[in-house]
A and B are shown apart, each in its own frame.
Chain A
């Protein structure tokens, strides 16, 4: 008698479905973003496409043929607090501990383009970043740090052009030619309207400033990443992974459109566009998101925009672990969360990485917590061996299927955004804001119903939390910073400063690229607030419709 062997896939399916031991705890099995996950992925789930390789279009497996065998990711810890002097000390401490690039965090008044002595700066100075009012503060911030030898990332948006000019002016003083400067300016105003809400001017003049800086740097500061198109803040505001991916890439295309409209050639600027994503806690979904991002961008750059230069097709990105996943309860757990999130960023092929410190749910990190966070990524790089092979999850039935799913969902969003008339009309219609608020509320409801668990928060709690050490900002620094900016105003060549600001005002009313005018004002020690207010006189301010 001949026994026909049963199809093993079928056997598994029957066994799984008839099993009595499957958990019935009511917990979600979909990803944190709500993407359904099957109990098993098989060769049936593999897409039928030609095998992909790193360094080759569409770069799903990475943009470099050598992966981390060629070069490790840059360990770039976002840092800044109190005064320029204190932050300068922290930078030297981090560089001394093996950090390989700088990343400046500015305080709220700096991010909002106002000086420390403005009435609404009260209570905000030096709290969530370093206070910078003028070139004088920037000189202190980078004192003794050779700008030609390190790369610096600056998280600044509405006033991005001003802070970039301050950096350029410091380089001038150090005698470093602009062509040697490397770094990244966040400069992503669209995600401010969508999620982080640090907008000042209306969308149109805001976009003009972005394009001005891209255009200026393409010629004068060619190694500078002129923009870091950011999904991080969109995700932290509550979006799903697919929304983060789709809204970020849609923003990217809006910048490309704006530059082309200015008359720039795609290959003259596209290679200096960079991206910034969140590494959230749902491990595989994040890896799929990173892989999908590269593939989608490459295809749009090549096929829609007709870029010829391969560098224009390559999506390079920075990653930060998810601040929003950190918990105030049992905060040491945040070290484990951050390590797992960082691992997903590495498996997703990130070019640079910030790992959050465990105490950031309370305040800016202490020296000790900041070092632990840096050590976490050093551990991943040098102990775990994950960097030894390129895209180690390539070919995984699950990860490949999820990568395709991310891509499919992103494309569906591109269509909806296009139907609304593009990114800016969609912002004005509160489309993104509502999508994000809905996703945030859905997730919170799942937590409330215990369909999802957060260890230490809605399960596995303790009665008594042990206090941990946190960083305190000395309240007297506020007064000192106010005095400092007033001293700068009193000491500078007043006529030169007023003249530069008045030229800037005239230029802002016209069509010239504003970068040279801003640079002149910065060199004359015009303060950030004065430069912003000059531009506000011409551009006006934006207010959003509050939706909940």
Chain B
């Protein structure tokens, strides 16, 4: 198809920031996004905000997906946003998931994390959000 080559495939860097090793969720989401046609790069465990941003820049990703289950999201998710600012890469969209209380979701959104998904979120909701956020990809 002629138009297909013109559309840049959406690339998503996904990773576990912080110290916890709970990687079930991030792996399931990574597979689902790949199945939905996105290019997913999974960076693995124990990523610092700097490492995640490095990976996103290197991979020319438009999206960063963060997973965290240890309670450190209020420190580490905004740290990724800050690092993007420092590297002048604020066009990269950040979303996240994990054990995150409702109040924190609002606070994180104010700090630049665009969307947060908590346990029990259907995979199709995450895909639907990405489709809406990047209509050119659907």
Chain A residues engaging chain B, CB cutoff 8 angstroms: 108-109, 111-112, 120-124, 127-128, 192, 196-198, 236-238, 324, 326-329, 361-364, 436-437, 440-441, 444, 447-448, 454, 457-458, 467, 470, 473, 543-544, 546, 548
CA distance A324 to B120 in the complex (A): 10
A264 to B23, CA, bound (A): 36
Check A544–B24 contact: CB distance below 8 A.
no
The 9 closest A-B pairs by CB, nearest first: A123-B75, A197-B21, A127-B71, A546-B44, A123-B72, A108-B19, A457-B120, A124-B72, A548-B30
**Contacts A198-B21, A329-B120; A124 near B71 (Cβ below 8 A):** yes
Contact A548 B40 (CB under 8 A): yes
Do A363 and B71 have beta carbons less than 8 Å apart? yes
Q: Which residues of B contact A237 (CB under 8 A)?
A: 22-24
Query: Does B119 touch A at the CB level, under 8 Å?
Result: yes
B124 close to chain A: CB less than 8 A: yes
Is A127 touching B120 in the complex (CB atoms < 8 A)? no
Q: Which residues of B contact A329 (CB under 8 A)?
A: 120
Q: Chain B residues near A328: list those with CB within 8 A.
A: 118-120
Residues of B within 8 A of A (CB): 18-24, 27-28, 30-32, 34, 40, 42-46, 48, 69-76, 79, 99-102, 118-120, 122-124
Candidates A127, A192, A196, A436; contact of B70 at CB < 8 Å: A127
Neighbour of A124 across the interface among B32, B70, B99, B102, CB < 8 A: B70
Q: Which of A111, A236, A327, A548 contacts B120 (CB 8 A)?
A: A327
B interface SS class = loop
B23 near A128: Cβ-Cβ < 8 Å? no
Contact A363 B120 (CB under 8 A): no
Assuming A444-B28, A548-B31, what are 10 further A-B pairs, CB within 8 angstroms? A120-B46, A122-B75, A123-B74, A124-B19, A236-B24, A238-B24, A327-B120, A440-B28, A441-B32, A448-B124
Beta-carbon contact of B19 and A362 below 8 Å: no
Residue of B nearest to A327 (CB): B120
Q: For B34, what are the chain A residues with a Cβ–Cβ distance below 8 Å?
A: 548
Residues of A within 8 A of B42 (CB): 546, 548
Contact B27–A127 (Cβ < 8 Å)? no
Known: A123-B72, A546-B42. A128 touches B31 (CB 8 A): no
Q: Which residue of A has the minimal Cβ distance to B69?
A: A128
Residues of A within 8 A of B70 (CB): 108, 124, 127-128
Q: Is the CB of B27 within 8 A of A112?
A: no
Q: Which residues of B contact A457 (CB under 8 A)?
A: 120
Contact B99 A544 (CB under 8 A): no
Minimum distance in angstroms from A32 CB to a CB of chain B? 15
- Please measure, in the bound complex, the distance between the C-alpha atom of A154 and the C-alpha atom of B131, giving whole angstroms: 45
By the criterion CB–CB under 8 Å, are B20 and A128 in contact?
yes
Interchain Cβ contacts under 8 Å between A and B, 6 examples: A124-B19, A196-B22, A236-B24, A362-B100, A437-B28, A457-B120
